[in-house]
Structure 1
């Protein structure tokens, strides 16, 4: 078995997943939820279909719109009438107009907006504040989470924590840096003359920037599973302890002896001396919610 080739293939699966993430089509209950949020007493678009008419269609119409939404989602081709809008001049100084979209198209547009909103909010520049929640509110929320996590380990209540706790704090905030990356982060917040403690006033701005830039994100569960399946040449659903040690210490960024022992203690089934990787992935995946 060419382990180097297989590890490279596993890395390729992960990188492709970041570049071309899968977005499953919306389930029927999502379509139904959006249909009931359409505002009533609003002027319709070019198809002249009122929101109230859509909502009065009941379960049968929900099924029809779910089918239409999924066809568009899978094909990437929108219905022509769903891409058209009615331009209405506004009697104010200057050339102004409003664009009236069809209520039908709003069903899919609202679903797309809900999908992308959580993913783009931390990437909006200050000049783009009008396209998402206020940046100040986002930063304040992030800094509160950081401070709350920091204070759990601030046993003396003096806004400092033991440097050995920083890795735990960072991971509790949903970040999974490598040991090398964690070392770089510590170097950024330590005093010029290391004291063994990290102050909140230095940790807070560094960690805020990390979370705003969404760095060191955990690998998604499905990507981890595909990577393990590449290493599982016999497709038997597990790896032997020896195989795991070989991959983790000889390929890519090798694990230290301490890291390897910690992983084995959690991953290896003592009865079979194997790693049932589906169970292990479920246990190790970070919940970002």
Structure 2
């Protein structure tokens, strides 16, 4: 059943960019490249049970993907770091309104949440972990 679910997610009709994995050769910025250990640490820290973003990829799916998923995330994240261009699904959020208590006819009795892509969360967490010591 998991294979059917995964197949349905990856064939759902999103425009796929075949160039996303074409990474230019490393430049002199190789010492600033994202390390596999950083990706591995971030993926293992993803919390279970969180809602998916626009791409329908859960944190559990990334963790269950094993070494192949870590390697692909490493490749994509280093390409983002080198080029400064994020994949379009990683930049989109799913905005959901949730009702608060009170009269639901009033807009002030709702609050919104933004659900972002889990692969994007991995990249953002790597950046956060790198910048946190500098900020402190």
2: CA distance between counterparts of 1:81 and 1:25? Answer: 22
Q: Give unpaired runs (5+ residues) of structure 2.
A: 1-28, 103-107
Larger relative contact order (C-alpha < 8 A, sep ≥ 6)?
2
2: CA distance between counterparts of 1:63 and 1:56? Answer: 13
2: CA distance between counterparts of 1:24 and 1:79? Answer: 20
Q: 2:41 — aligned with what?
A: 33
| 1:68 corresponds to which of 63, 67, 76 | 76
1: CA distance between counterparts of 2:38 and 2:135? Answer: 21
1: CA distance between counterparts of 2:69 and 2:132? Answer: 27
Q: CA deviation at 1:90?
A: 1.4
Task: Report Cα offsets for 1:49-69 as digits up to 9, x if no partner.
Answer: 111111111111111110000
TM-score, normalised by the number of residues in structure 1: 0.33
1:99 and 2:114 correspond = yes
Q: How many aligned positions are there?
A: 100
1: CA distance between counterparts of 2:57 and 2:128? Answer: 22
The runs of 4+ residues in structure 1 deviating greater than 3 Å are none
Give the number of the structure whose alpha-carbon radius of gyration is greater: 1
Q: CA deviation at 1:33?
A: 1.0
Residues 158-169 of structure 1 aligned to structure 2 (within 5 Å): none
Q: 2:53 — aligned with what?
A: 45
Q: CA deviation at 1:89?
A: 0.4
For 1:99, what is the secondary structure of its paired residue?
strand
2: CA distance between counterparts of 1:116 and 1:53? Answer: 27
Q: 2:127 — aligned with what?
A: 112
Q: CA deviation at 1:118?
A: 1.4
RMSD after superposition: 1.4
Task: Report Cα offsets for 1:111-147 as digits up to 9, x if no partner.
Answer: 00011111123xxxxxxxxxxxxxxxxxxxxxxxxxx
For 1:90, what is the secondary structure of its paired residue?
strand
TM-score, normalised by the number of residues in structure 2: 0.69
Q: CA deviation at 1:29?
A: 1.3
More displaced stretch, 108-117 vs 85-94: 85-94
Q: Give unpaired runs (5+ residues) of structure 1.
A: 1-21, 122-289
Task: Report Cα offsets for 1:137-170 as digits up to 9, x if no partner.
Answer: xxxxxxxxxxxxxxxxxxxxxxxxxxxxxxxxxx
Q: 2:24 — aligned with what?
A: none
